[in-house]
Amino acid sequence: MEITITGLTPGFAGEVSGIGITQPLTHAQAGAIEAGMDRYAVLVYRDQRFTDEQQKEFSRNFGALEQARASNITAPADRRLDLEMADVSNLGADHRPLARDDRRRLFNLGNQLWHSDSSFRAIPAKYSLLSGRIVVDDGGNTEFADMRAAYDALDARTKAEVEDLVCEHSLIYSRGTLGFTELTDDDRRMFAPVRQRLVRTHPVTGRKSLYLSSHIGSIAGWPVPEARAFIRDLTEHATQPRFVYVHRWRQFDLVMWDNRTTMHRVRRFDETRVRDMRRTTVAGESMTVEQLAA
Ligand code: OGA
Ligand code: MN
């Protein structure tokens, strides 16, 4: 059966059918998916009952996996999943929901802010692949914003203004926005800010996009309050409903997205319920500040 991709919104997000992705892919199938990603930026697959190993195997078709180290405050000994799996559930190692005041839960609430995965790493992520092993039926949607369309819709003056700006990204900033400031000195060293271009050019399509994220705390050369007000303004622009696809989870969905051209956030849900979401992340290949101005 041929791979078919059906658009879910005009030009953004597609649903893939005609392929079982828990099985090894042919070179042609992997290429068709990558081409689909370049076009849609978010792809949805239904009813894919992954083991962690199968999810990692599928993800490796698109590049090396990122290690989940340095992306949260969970001590290695307290991890529920291995280091190639980002645990975005609300669960502890005992598979039970974390207590309301658990530091790890409060830290993970940052996923409710619009962000791009690993924009706080010097070489940020290419793709994320999120598997819904146990989903909730009320709330807990994941929303995706198309940062290519958001860039295209800027007026010419704003496009010229953002073209060569460089932002500083850190988990310290995104968590600080929520009032989560109790980080250890080790956490602060681990989360030291990195620089990213505000405008990225996709390596295959050549399309430009806004590289926004709640991890941004400043713009190089700008006064901080002016930078934060501007970033907030751009984020409001970029996350208007016309740029957003809302994913309502069914159990065993796999959603993959291109972090270079999208932002996402999870919406609130009753956290006394189990929501077991497991992410693999495909590493990027270069620093955005090395990208030549187009
Ligand atoms: C992620 C994330 C959203 C969710 O996996 O990167 O932000 O729906 N999670 O849990
Ligand atoms: Mn995320």
Q: 152: CA distance to ligand 2 center in Å? A: 24
Distance CA(265)–CA(172), nearest Å, equals: 18
Q: Whose CA is nearest to atom 2 of ligand 1?
A: 111
Residue located nearest, by CA, to atom 4 of ligand 1: 266
Question: Which mutation among 81, 111, 263 tests ligand 1's pocket best, with the greatest number of atoms within 8 A of CB?
Answer: 111
Report whether residue 131 contacts ligand 1, using a CB cutoff of 6 Å. no
Those residues of the chain that have pLDDT short of 70 are 1, 292-294
Retrieve residue 148's tokens. 């290519």
Which pLDDT score is estimated for 292?
55
Per-residue pLDDT at 294: 44
Closest approach atom of ligand 1 to CA 89: 10
State if residue 111 touches ligand 1 by the CB under 6 angstroms criterion. Answer: yes
Can you give the pLDDT at residue 290? Answer: 83
CA of 108 to the centre of ligand 2 (A): 10
Work out the burial of residue 181: count CB atoms within 10 Å of its CB; fewer than 13 is exposed, 13-18 middle, 19 or more buried: exposed
- Residue of minimum CA distance from atom 7 in ligand 1: 111
- 1 HSE (CA, 13 A, CB side): 8
pLDDT the model gives residue 71: 87
Q: Residue of the nearest CA to atom 1 in ligand 1?
A: 88
In order, the DSSP letters of 157-180 are HHHHHHTT-EEEE-HHHHHHHTT-
Reported as a single tens digit per residue, the pLDDT across 208-249 is: 999 999 999 999 999 999 999 999 999 999 999 999 999 999
- Report CA(111)–ligand 2 centroid distance (Å): 6
pTM score of the predicted model: 0.97
Q: Could you tell me if the CB of 209 is within 6 A of ligand 1?
A: no
Give residue 69's pLDDT: 84
Ligand in closest contact with the CA of 276: 1
Taking the CA of residue 281 as reference, the ligand 1 atom at the shortest distance is 6
Count helices and strands in the chain by DSSP H and E runs: 8, 15
Return the half-sphere exposure (C-beta side, CA atoms, 13 A cut-off) of residue 207. 19
pLDDT in tens, 239-291: 999 999 999 999 999 999 999 999 999 999 999 999 999 999 999 999 999 87
Q: How far is the CA of 117 from the centre of ligand 2 (A)?
A: 5
User: How far is residue 130's CA from residue 133's CA, in Å, rounded to a whole number?
Assistant: 9
